Structure formats: C-alpha cells, structure tokens
Amino acid sequence: MLSSTAPKLAAPIDVFRSADRSKYMRAVTDTLILTGAFSWLDENRPDPRVLTGGRLLPVERHRAVAELDAETPTVVGSVPTPGYLGKLTGSAETWYERLAAPPMDLALVGTSKWLREDLDALIGNSNEDGGDRTPLSAYVLPYGERVGTWSTPVIPSARLSEGEALPESCTTAILDRYGAFKYLNDITVPIVVCVVDRSIADESDADTIIEARLSNSRPISVVADLHWTPPGAVEALGFTVSL
C-alpha cells in the first residue's frame, strides 16, 4: 500500500458509464468503501446518482472507483485514515485510489491468530501528542470476511503443507516463526522476509535460515543495498539465493 505506485484510475463517472449489471466494483467515498455489484447510473437529473455496492449515492461523492475481476459479495466498509505513515510516504495524496485498487503483491504466512493480532497494532508518531494512530491492518489490508477492500492473504503455515500456493501476483512473502520457515525452500517469490523470535530458546528458526544462507547464496548489506537501518535490539541479515 505505501511503497507501490498509485494506480491510475479513470474518473468515477467514466467508470460508471462504461459498466453494466455484470460488473462488480469497489467504490470509495470520503468515509465508505462500497464493494459489490454495479446496478445502474442515472444521469437524467441535475445531480447524477449511482447504485453500486448496495448504496444509492450522488456520483460526485465518489473519490475513486475500480472494476473487480471476480464476483464478490456486497460489503460496506469504512475508509481508514492514512495516518502517520501515509503522510510520511506521500501515499495519503492518493489514498482513495490505493483503497479502491490496492496492490496484490504481499502474503503473510504463519499462525493466523498471531498475525491478525499483530495487525491490530497502532502506528503513529510518538512525538505528536494526540496524533493519528492507525492500525497496521490499514496498510496491509488483510483478506477477511466482510471487509470492503483487501490486498494481503493471511495464510496459515499448515496450508502450505497441503499444497496451497501463494497468489501469482505475490512478489513478497513474510514468514512468521518456525511453522512458516519450514517451507522457506518451497517458496519461490522474489522477496522473502523471515521474522525470528530470538526470545525463544529453541534455535530451530535461526538454523533454518542460516542453512539457506549457506546454500548457494550471496550476502547483501541491509543498510547499503536495502537502505534500511535496523532499530535497536533488532538483528537483520540479508542474502540472495538461486531459484
């Protein structure tokens, strides 16, 4: 959501004009995300109105609209605030477009319950009293029931053992703890991030990653090559491997 290029969408009125009843859409207003079937557009009035996602609203209230590739149930969600990170990265300027057509390039793999708890963490600027506190989920947009927009599947590790593959559009996978690390060599997306909990005495997590690093890999500098300086108490190493 934050680092990807903002989607280039046609004006809402043009998207509605080109649609028919077989289309499914995601429409974003100042406060709502409307996902579902397109019904009709009425331009025979001074203030054109559209019925999509189960809501009848003036066209002018829509900030961004995108057609969906597949049938989807009708869901009405709330627009999350772009918050501190949205402003810091500049993505707040195209926030509605990003919510209407988010990138589908990330997957989270691990224990679903723990991952979703982590996504409830609030992100903000500690130097700003009363500043925005935005859930991490607003930047990740995890799949879920009754959500208006989604971007990232949260995949239980066990499903990989059952043969479930990551989405074809996925370019990055985050593996959380050993249950996910076991499948490190089976994941072929370009970028894999492993999150290791070093507070646990069991070294299996780290051993799996070190084995991968020693097998036909090339080390890279997290600071020089990835332009990221790990915060205190965080240990990071990077390497490339042949697929």
Q: What is the mean pLDDT of each run of 10 residues along the chain (243 residues)?
A: 92 97 96 97 96 97 97 95 93 97 95 94 80 89 93 93 89 90 87 84 74 85 90 88 77
In this structure, are residues 94 and 6 in contact, taking their beta carbons and an 8 Å threshold? yes
Q: What pLDDT score was predicted for residue 94?
A: 97
Query: CA-CA distance, 6 to 10, in Å (whole number)?
Result: 13
pLDDT score of 163 = 85
The per-residue pLDDT for 130 is 62
The helix or strand, by DSSP H or E, that contains position 77, with its residue range, turns out to be strand 75-78
pLDDT of residue 212: 83
Which helix H or strand E contains 179, and what residues bound it? helix 178-181
Q: Is the pTM of this model over 0.75?
A: yes
The pLDDT assigned to 202 comes to 66
Give the whole-angstrom CA distance, residue 157 versus residue 177: 10
Report the distance separating Cα 89 and Cα 2, nearest Å.
7
Among 111, 171, 108, which Cα is nearest to 140's? 108
All structural domains of the chain with their residue ranges:
12-78, 104-241
